[in-house]
Structure 1
Amino acid sequence: NKPTMQAWIMTESTTTHRVFVRNPYYWKVDTAGNQLPYIDKIVSTVVNWEIYQMKVISGEADVAFMNTSFENYSLYKENEEAGGYTVTLIPGTMAAEVGFGVNLTHPDPVLREIHQDVRFRRALSLAINREEINEVVYAGIGVPRQLTALSSASYYKEEWEQAYGQYNPGEANRLLDKAGLTERDKNGFRLRPDGQILEIMVEYAVGGEFEAPVTLLELVKEYWEAVGLSVLLRSADQALYFERMDSPDHGFATSPKFAEEVRGYLLERDDDDWYIGNSDLGWALQWGEWLDAELAIKRGRATLDDYGGEMPGEEPPAEIKQLFQWGEDRVLAEFRSPEYIEAMQKVFDWHAENVVIIGTVGMVPVPYVAKNNIGNVPKAYNPAGGWPGDLNYFAEQLFFKR
């Protein structure tokens, strides 16, 4: 019973479904002057990941895109005729379908020193065979690339996409040796300076939009173990995964990563991984908490008393403060102005050199499944889109064919 500018009004919400009815006062009309949206009522069912996929291929859903996956594309296509639907591939705009965040503020001082050595992080990136991942996991349809800006960005530099992104296990081994990780156990795994096995724990979510393809993770595990790094893959449901990411001792984070320019500028804190370490890829949780608090105090949204009289997390080094400041500079600058482009290039130059977040394959299409009687199915994202949920932008123009 509250006013809304949305196309539909939610009238019912339970643990199993949500009901939305058409907003008769919605502010948009089509080119012929007809009131939008066209569809009067939406019923959205709440199901788990596996049931969602079964409902898609059986044709039970009129429209599905939020949790479809390219890994299931062939399955969707095989059942297209029987399910009475059509699969449209929406061109992907992800900088990485799966990115890895190296935890630079881990509470284990030995791990922290290793993670903060740029030679270690560059070696991790060079050990990954992105071309093979693209072929095996994404049928060759994605773009093997480092985790960086998209080529459509006004500040883009081509060299960023290949910064320590070539497959070169020989150079990866050399860098790991240079970083002092020369000692190995009887199984060939590298040892930490304290004599323990250097183990990389990769944490990933099962179910939901942050789920990483297990095949991709197993390939990365294989690549890293080939250069002497022991790897443990640790899964959790999405809620527990996010709880783990809030803990300073979390392992390597995994997440899809956006880099769409318009979206990043309009939604100031939507792409924080580029500027601060306590976002989706959690590459410096402790430093990020400190920077967030400092900004809140500076802007008058909080006082030190709100943090118990002392700053949370840990004060970051000067270069991390500078990275964060470049992120603030781009927000204050006019979009695509010289000042804006300069700030953004400094940010991505820094990431290209420091490799705190590591990419694999990006720009994989999103399967949009719609029953054959649905019209105005989108063919691409809107200019600020990139997350599958952004395809809701087009829902007001969907209609049932007669």
Structure 2
Amino acid sequence: MFRRLTAIVLAGAIALPALARPIVQESAFWAPEVKKGQMDAAADRVPEVPLVVDLEAKGRQFGTQGGTLRTMVTRTKDVRQMVVYGYARLVGYDHNYQLKPDILRDVDVEEGRIFTLHLRPGHRWSDGAPFTSADFEYWWKHVAQNAELSPNGPPEIMRLGEDIATMTFPDEVTVVVEFPEANPNFLQLLAQASPPFIYRPAHYLKQFHVAFNTKEAMEEMIDAKRVRSWAPLHNKLDNLYKFDNHELPTLQPWKPASTGAAMRHLFVRNPYFHRIDARGVQLPYIDVVEMDIVGSGLVAAKTNAGETDLQARGLDFRDVSILKKGEADGAPYRTYLWSNGAASQIAIYPNLNFADPVWREVMRDARFRRALSLGIDRRMINRALYFGLGKEGGMTALAKSPLFDPANLTQWAIYDPDTANVMLDQMGLNKRTPAGTRLLPDGRPMEFVIETAGERQEVENALAIITDTWRDIGIKLIMRPLDRDILRNRVFSGVTMASVWFGWDNGLPQPSTPPTYLAPTDQVFFAWPKWGQYYQTHGAAGEPVDLEAGKRLMALSMAWQNTEDPVEHREIWREMLKIHADNQFGIGILSEAPQPVVVSDRLRNVPEQGKWAWDPGAHFGVHRIDEFFFADAEQIAQVSE
């Protein structure tokens, strides 16, 4: 376990009793390969020091290996959810949201800035090759610091302000990451749903790197793959998160077994996975995951028909009634209602970096954003779409967070069209068309275009209600559904006026949670994509922050990083949340509407009460999907004597 942790995890040192390593049992799934001599026995496939999971201590059942788990996603790109759900990380959150070593055996932290990562001796990639410090060294020296592969230099996880960390490799099971000052972000970034992979399977990727091949060999591969140069070739094949290259070794519980753009993707158990249960059974329990790609409108119907064993993605609260009816009619599943960890179920983001200078000036006036928020009848939306079960209010920390302040929830978020009209008049937007639509300073009617990903019916239904109430304040809402990728690209390029998405992924922050996502540090916060680009590319793209509230958020985020005082951390968080509530950068509508999770009657160890959250949590990941099992799992082969 961790020997010394920074204040963000635990003060002081902890020492937990280590579980004795049990005798590792052979997997029936891989037994034929073992019998043929094509694969080592299970005892030789797991690390010398595996992660031993005592399920009974967690209140779970020991399971049986076997079976195929069916689930669905709505886009080919979403096969990467297997990396999210699998949630094998260097360090990760446990079910109590405490950071613990996972892929790593241990972590030492000195002065809050020197992180010594201890690998598990004997750990191997999914193809059987050793996983050692050489894989970190390859990434650091030949990917992160290679100008062609990483034109912006090392990624954010290896930076602290303008300073770049160092990475050294004392031996094959030790990696040292050193920052010039304390960095309370580092471990938490490693535990993300979409983690920064600071290692690569060097033995596989070297064949595509110019430093390890002749010019002639590289040119032959470049021609064969029809790419411009070696760098796009390497980048195309090197993505541990996308999970779209079945030849790329992985450390996740399952590895891809499908090729091409199929509508059904298969993932089989990783024979070298590092977790075992206390009886010596290697995880994951489930042998195969079958992921079907279906239209977004079909997920609920197919789930209702019993065509999935574990499903939450693609289901909304509006689907609960039909799912419960199917359950009552004898469909072989249970419908759980998990809490939702997003700061807002639906949030509107006026784009402060919009390319139209007239609209940009209007949207940058906080009075305009406040008026939009005051013009939303959240109670009507809650009753119409969520049977009153959502929590109405703006986007802020949720009630279960120690940083929750009810004043932030209600600020500029109580339906008040009269005050909204006064604010807009005070801005000089007091001229209207005969139909009552206000005019912009250049005389154009205020047609406010909100673009959506077109994936959630609840979003369109909410915007339909908002269309009516905004009409009363003289703003004509125009909804434009788009493909998700098109929407994101339009937002990032500054041609989207406004968009709608979820609120912050982490609606339950602690004072020890890095508040980076409240500052203009990332283009994925749709209110300031250009500011985020500027920060992420170190000024190579985007625009510098030129709004005082945005500058203050940046300063506060930096101040949080530069102190280890928990009292200061809390005060910084409180000020940042107050700035957001006052400025309405993201106009939240409601939060905490339950997330339906459908579970096969045969599936075990799925918590009836859980949290559906992207970060922290990785959706099913923090609940350890590798520990789920089928009650009637049948081995596909018998272990040979």
**Is the TM value for this pair above 0.5?**
yes
* 1:235-257: CA deviation from partner (whole Å, max 9, x where unpaired): 11112212221221212111012
Shift of 1:102: 1.2
2 CA distance for matches of 1:234 and 1:50? 18
Could you tell me whether the CA contact under 8 Å between 2:453 and 2:483 is conserved in 1? Answer: yes
Match of 1:123 in 2: 371
1:282 aligns with 2:526: yes
Q: Which moves more between the two structures, 30-39 or 317-326?
A: 30-39
Match of 1:298 in 2: none
- 2:343 is paired with a residue of what secondary structure? strand
1 CA distance for matches of 2:457 and 2:537? 30
User: Which residue of 256, 259, 266 corresponds with 1:10?
Assistant: 256
C-alpha spacing 1:20/1:219, structure 2 compared with 1 (3 Å): same
* 1:205-240: CA deviation from partner (whole Å, max 9, x where unpaired): 113xx7752111111111111211111111111122
1 CA distance for matches of 2:481 and 2:522? 20
1:27 aligns with 2:274: yes
Could you tell me whether the CA contact under 8 Å between 1:212 and 1:254 is conserved in 2? Answer: no
C-alpha spacing 1:69/1:14, structure 2 compared with 1 (3 Å): farther
Match of 2:630 in 1: 400
TM-score (norm 1): 0.86
Amino acid at match of 2:557: G
User: Which residue of 583, 589, 601 corresponds with 1:360?
Assistant: 589
Shift of 1:285: 2.6
Match of 1:300 in 2: none
* Structure-to-structure mapping, 1:293-308, within 5 angstroms: 293-294=537-538, 307=540
1 CA distance for matches of 2:556 and 2:490? 29
Could you tell me whether the CA contact under 8 Å between 2:393 and 2:413 is conserved in 1? Answer: yes
* Structure-to-structure mapping, 1:208-219, within 5 angstroms: 213-219=459-465
C-alpha spacing 1:319/1:126, structure 2 compared with 1 (3 Å): closer
Match of 1:328 in 2: 558
Could you tell me whether the CA contact under 8 Å between 2:454 and 2:482 is conserved in 1? Answer: yes
2 CA distance for matches of 1:13 and 1:370? 28
1 CA distance for matches of 2:495 and 2:387? 35
Match of 1:67 in 2: 314
* Structure-to-structure mapping, 1:215-230, within 5 angstroms: 215-230=461-476
User: Which residue of 325, 334, 337 corresponds with 2:566?
Assistant: 337
Shift of 1:348: 0.8
Could you tell me whether the CA contact under 8 Å between 2:273 and 2:283 is conserved in 1? Answer: yes
Shift of 1:154: 3.1
1:351 aligns with 2:580: yes
Shift of 1:65: 1.2
User: Which residue of 601, 624, 632 corresponds with 1:372?
Assistant: 601
Q: Greater RCO between the two (CA within 8 Å, min separation 6)?
A: 1
C-alpha spacing 1:199/1:340, structure 2 compared with 1 (3 Å): same
* Structure-to-structure mapping, 1:257-268, within 5 angstroms: 257=503, 258-261=505-508
Shift of 1:385: 5.5
1 CA distance for matches of 2:616 and 2:478? 29
C-alpha spacing 1:152/1:317, structure 2 compared with 1 (3 Å): same
1 CA distance for matches of 2:271 and 2:562? 38
C-alpha spacing 1:388/1:197, structure 2 compared with 1 (3 Å): farther
* 1:82-112: CA deviation from partner (whole Å, max 9, x where unpaired): 4321111111222111101112222222212
C-alpha spacing 1:105/1:148, structure 2 compared with 1 (3 Å): same
Could you tell me whether the CA contact under 8 Å between 1:92 and 1:386 is conserved in 2? Answer: no
Could you tell me whether the CA contact under 8 Å between 1:154 and 1:341 is conserved in 2? Answer: no
C-alpha spacing 1:264/1:199, structure 2 compared with 1 (3 Å): farther
C-alpha spacing 1:333/1:60, structure 2 compared with 1 (3 Å): farther
Match of 1:292 in 2: 536
* 1:291-336: CA deviation from partner (whole Å, max 9, x where unpaired): 3333xxxxxxxxx7xx3xxx642452444222123223334544x8
Could you tell me whether the CA contact under 8 Å between 2:341 and 2:611 is conserved in 1? Answer: no
Match of 2:301 in 1: 54
User: Which residue of 213, 228, 243 corresponds with 2:489?
Assistant: 243
* 1:166-221: CA deviation from partner (whole Å, max 9, x where unpaired): 111111111111111111110011111222101110110113xx775211111111
1:113 aligns with 2:357: no
Amino acid at match of 1:371: S
C-alpha spacing 1:216/1:31, structure 2 compared with 1 (3 Å): farther
2 CA distance for matches of 1:265 and 1:45? 38
* 1:106-129: CA deviation from partner (whole Å, max 9, x where unpaired): 222221221111111111111111
Q: Which moves more between the two structures, 40-49 or 387-396?
A: 387-396
Could you tell me whether the CA contact under 8 Å between 1:86 and 1:370 is conserved in 2? Answer: yes
User: Which residue of 336, 345, 369 corresponds with 1:97?
Assistant: 345
Could you tell me whether the CA contact under 8 Å between 1:265 and 1:331 is conserved in 2? Answer: no
* 1:349-377: CA deviation from partner (whole Å, max 9, x where unpaired): 11111111100011111111112111122
Match of 1:299 in 2: none
RMSD: 2.6
Runs of at least 5 residues in structure 1 that lack an aligned partner in the other structure: 295-303
1 CA distance for matches of 2:326 and 2:344? 28
Match of 2:117 in 1: none
Q: Which moves more between the two structures, 101-110 or 367-376?
A: 101-110
- 2:257 is paired with a residue of what secondary structure? strand
- 2:493 is paired with a residue of what secondary structure? coil
Larger radius of gyration: 2
2 CA distance for matches of 1:370 and 1:287? 42
Report the number of matched residues.
382
* 1:51-95: CA deviation from partner (whole Å, max 9, x where unpaired): 333321111111111221112111212222343211111112221
Runs of at least 5 residues in structure 2 that lack an aligned partner in the other structure: 1-126, 128-247, 633-641
Amino acid at match of 2:501: S
2 CA distance for matches of 1:216 and 1:191? 25
Could you list the structure 1 runs, at least 4 aligned residues long, displaced by more than 6 angstroms after superposition. Answer: 263-266
C-alpha spacing 1:249/1:396, structure 2 compared with 1 (3 Å): same
1:78 aligns with 2:325: yes
Match of 2:402 in 1: 154
TM-score (norm 2): 0.56
Amino acid at match of 1:189: T
C-alpha spacing 1:382/1:7, structure 2 compared with 1 (3 Å): farther
2 CA distance for matches of 1:107 and 1:314? 15
2 CA distance for matches of 1:133 and 1:31? 49
